[in-house]
Amino acid sequence: MSTHPIVEYTSSASWAMIEDKFSPYAKETLAKLIKFLEEEVRPAEKLAHLQIPEDPAQRWKTLKEKAKKLGLWNLFLSKAHYPEFGVPLSNLEYAVMAEVLGYSGFIASESVNCSAPDTGNMEIRSAFAMTEKNVASSDATNIRTSIRREGDEIVINGHKWWISGAGDPRCKVHLVMGKSDANNKDKYNQQSVVLVPADAPGVFGYDDAPEGHCEIIYDNVRVPLSNLVLGWGRGFEIIQGRLGPGRIHHCMRSIGAAQAALDLMLQRVTDPRPKDLWKIPRLRGTNSDLVHKGTVVADIAKSRAEIEGARLLVLSAALQIDKYKAKGALKEIGIAKFVVPSMALTVIDRAIQSFGAEGVCQDTSLAQRWAGLRTLRIADGPDAVHIQQVGQRELKRVPYLTEKTREIQKKENAILEKAGLKTRL
Ligand SMILES: Cc1cc2nc3c(=O)[nH]c(=O)nc-3n(C[C@H](O)[C@H](O)[C@H](O)COP(=O)(O)OP(=O)(O)OC[C@H]3O[C@@H](n4cnc5c(N)ncnc54)[C@H](O)[C@@H]3O)c2cc1C
Q: What is the pLDDT of residues 341-383, one digit of tens each?
A: 999 999 999 999 999 888 998 889 999 899 889 988 998 889 9
Q: Are 117 and 110 in contact (CB under 8 A)?
A: no
Expressed in angstroms and rounded, the spacing between residue 72 Cα and the centre of ligand 1 is 32
Compute CA distances 405 → 412, 414, 416, whole Å: 10, 14, 16
- The residue to mutate among 162, 216, 392, having the most atoms of ligand 1 within 8 angstroms of its beta carbon, is 162
Q: What pairing do the DSSP bridges indicate for beta strands 203-206 and 213-224?
A: antiparallel
Say whether pLDDT at 5 is over 80: yes
Per-residue pLDDT, 288: 61
Radius of gyration for the alpha carbons in the chain, expressed in angstroms and rounded:
25
Which residue has a Cα nearest atom 33 of ligand 1?
A: 382
Burial zone of 202 (CB within 10 Å; 0-12 exposed, 13-18 middle, 19+ buried): middle
First to last CA, the chain: 55
Angle of the 235-269 helix axis to the 366-376 helix axis, nearest 10: 150
Q: Alpha carbon of 108 to those of 224, 237, 359: distances in Å?
A: 37, 31, 21
- CA 129 to ligand 1 centroid distance, Å: 13
Q: Over 188-216, what HEC string results? A: HHCEEEEEEECCCCCEEEECCCCCCEEEE
CA angle 378, 45, 296 (to 5 degrees): 65
> 33 with 78: CB under 8 angstroms?
no
Which domains are seen in the chain, by residue range? 5-111 (1.10.540.10), 125-233 (2.40.110.10), 237-381 (1.20.140.10)
Q: How far is the CA of 154 from the centre of ligand 1 (A)?
A: 27
Report whether residue 129 contacts ligand 1, using a CB cutoff of 6 Å: yes
Given a contact cutoff of 8 angstroms between Cβ atoms, the answer to whether 373 and 350 are in contact is: no
pLDDT in tens, 258-280: 999 999 999 999 877 655 444 44
> What are the tens digits of pLDDT across the range 268-315?
998 776 554 444 444 444 456 788 888 999 999 999 999 999 999 999
Q: Is 212 in the pocket of ligand 1 (CB under 6 A)?
A: no
Out of 115-119, 241-245, 310-314, 323-327, the most confident range is: 310-314
Residue 135 Cα to ligand 1 middle (Å): 10
Phi/psi region, residue 297 (left: phi>0; alpha: psi -120 to 50; beta: rest), is alpha
Q: What is the pLDDT of residue 119?
A: 60
For residue range 238-257, list pLDDT tens digits in order.
776 666 677 888 899 999 99
3-state secondary structure of 23: coil
Ligand 1 geometric centre to CA of 418 (Å): 59
Angle, CA of 232, 234 and 240, to the nearest 5° = 160
3-state helix, strand, coil in the chain (%, to 5): 55, 15, 30
Q: What is the pTM of this model?
A: 0.78
- Among 31-35, 286-290, 398-402, the least confident range: 286-290
- Regarding beta strands 125-129 and 171-179, do their DSSP bridges make them parallel or antiparallel, or are they unpaired? parallel
Residue 419 DSSP label: T
CA 329 – CA 322 distance, rounded (Å): 9
Q: What is the mean pLDDT of the chain?
A: 86
Per cent of the chain over pLDDT 90 is: 54
Peptide bond into 5 cis (omega under 30): no
Contact 92, 319 (CB under 8 A): yes
Q: What is the pLDDT of residue 210?
A: 41
pLDDT at position 322 over 70? yes
**Phi and psi, residue 378, nearest 5°:** -115, -45
Pocket test for ligand 1, best of 376, 385, 386 (most atoms within 8 A of CB): 385
Query: 138 C-alpha vs ligand 1 centroid, how far in Å?
Result: 5
- CB 329 near ligand 1, within 6 Å: no
128 Cβ inside 6 Å of ligand 1: yes
Q: Which of 92, 110, 98, 94 is nearest to 48 (CA)?
A: 110
Q: Higher pLDDT residue, 82 or 319?
A: 319
Chain CA centroid to CA 226, Å = 31
Q: How confident is the model at residue 212 (pLDDT cuts 50, 70, 90)?
A: low
Q: 379 C-alpha vs ligand 1 centroid, how far in Å? A: 6
Length in residues, the chain: 425
Work out the pLDDT band at 213, boundaries 50, 70, 90: confident
Rounded CA-CA distance 370/353 in Å is 12
